[in-house]
Amino acid sequence: MNLIKLAAYFLAIIFLLAMPRPASAGFVEDMAKCGAIKDKQQQQDCYKSAGKPAGVCRQFVELQPVAVVAKELGRTEEWVVANHKVNLWAKTSANGKKPKVGELLPGSRALLLETSTQDYKVKSPLDGSIGWVNQIQVKGISSLEDRTFRPCNLSSAK
């Protein structure tokens, strides 16, 4: 009797291992992030790398969340999402900022390219523009994989 149970258990394990597996959580997360990208070329590149091994560790600035911006502006979060964008400038604050060269969305992340005393030079995921954003607009800086946006220390431990 025990031999029959053991054989059944063994066959059940083989059956489970042979079954197709659902998409990994990382793949699903990657696909959701790709869908939020408005630039078509960046979106296609994102879809191509979804679920693949992580890329290069890079620094990203994370802008203040929608809730914080809404509170500062005295508006609802819905209004901020629908109407508010953070400007990217051609020059640092110390050098007069203007002209405007691009935009970021509140709560979004942007690739960090350079820093100054008061500002960060970033590449916008919204439109691919490169410009300066003041540190007051930034919640923090994170080291993330450039394809998966997972923290570098977690992805590299695999």
- What structural domains does the chain harbor? 20-52 (no CATH), 54-155 (2.30.30.40)
Residue percentage of the chain with pLDDT more than 90: 54
- pLDDT value of position 45: 62
Lowest mean pLDDT among 37-41, 107-111, 130-134: 37-41
Residue linked to tokens 């203007």: 98
Give strand pairing partners of 114: 121
Q: Tell me: the pLDDT tens digits for 8-42?
A: 555 555 544 454 445 455 566 666 677 777 776 66
> Side by side, which strands form the sheet with 86-89?
100-104, 86-89, 130-134, 119-123, 109-115, 57-63, 138-145
Residue percentage of the chain with pLDDT more than 70: 66
